[in-house]
Amino acid sequence: MKSPRWRSFVLMSTLAVGLGCIAGPREARAQGIDARPWLGIAMDGEAKVLGVRVGHVVRGSPAERAGLREGDRIVRVAGATTSRSADVMRAVAAFAVGDSIDIGFERGGQLRSAKALLAAFPSVDEMLRMDLVGAFAPTWKGIETVSGVFPPSIGSLRGRVVLLDFWATWCMPCRVVIPKLGALQARYGAQGLSVLGMSTETAQDVALFAQRVAMRYPVAIDKAAETTRSYGVASLPTLVVIDKRGVVRDVAIGYDSSEDERLDSSVRALLAEPAPPSD
């Protein structure tokens, strides 16, 4: 039987917001979470205006299929007025997987309505892959370089294959992955590979650690965790594989030594793809 992936849990995924807290996979199964209805939105903090602002809509989710977008303000769910995120969660939780619910929302000053067919709650890993794979990689913001030359944007790496590693100094599986990523950078950097590390810790802690272990690729800190949230990272390490066009092709969550060769093969295959046309 295949061993479980080695990981460190860090925070609740922003992609899961809409129906309460997310536990680890084992705890989730024990609590029957995947039998609960899922809408697939992240909601911003409370504001002194009507409704609840949608901060993010998961790709392929019931919310996206219903036509909801980031920035919409949900004012009613199944006939119940919503002024807080808890109101939305409570209203959705009253239904079952497969039920269709009416959602009233405000967009651009106009009231609109939609019907969402609720799906079963996916795991955090499934949600992350659903949201990222096949889409253009979110741009990073609020970052500060602490080691090497960290690119200013994902757009500046167009034409290169990127391995973006979300990690932390205290994360034991991250420490195992770091030299392996360094070896990939050394092996394929001249062919067009860019390995990058990103942490939400302090600049001093990350810089000292990077120096101590001789990290062989650029490292930045995500000062307010804005980029980490935009990628939906819930456990470490999370490795995002991005092709030459800037499209996410794979996401590796946690560490499994049996997949080292698969990652190497994936990098080689992506490097062999043609470069995108210049603008």
What does the buried/exposed string (b/e) look like for 186-200 if buried means 16 or more CB atoms within 10 Å of the residue's CB? eebeeebbbbbbbbb
Between CA 79 and CA 101 the distance in angstroms is 9
Backbone phi, psi, residue 199, to 5°: -130, 155
What is the sign, positive or negative, of the torsion defined by CA atoms of 223, 175, 131, 16?
negative
- Residues 36-72 as b/e (b if ≥16 CB within 10 A, e otherwise) read bbbbbbbbeeeeeeebbbbbbbbbebbbbebbbeeeb
Q: How far is CA 119 from CA 63, 92, 122, 125, 264, in A?
A: 10, 11, 8, 16, 35
Task: Name, in order, each residue with C-beta under 8 angstroms of 93's C-beta and a sequence gap of 6 or more.
Answer: 19, 20, 36, 37
- 174 neighbors 10 (Cβ within 8 angstroms): no
Taking the C-alpha atoms of residue 120 and residue 118, their distance in angstroms, rounded to an integer, is 7
Query: Which residues touch 108 (CB under 8 Å, ≥6 apart)?
Result: none
Active site members: 171, 174
Tokens of 77: 């769910």
Reading the block at residue 169, the tokens are: 């100094």
What CA–CA distance (Å, rounded) separates 22 from 13?
8
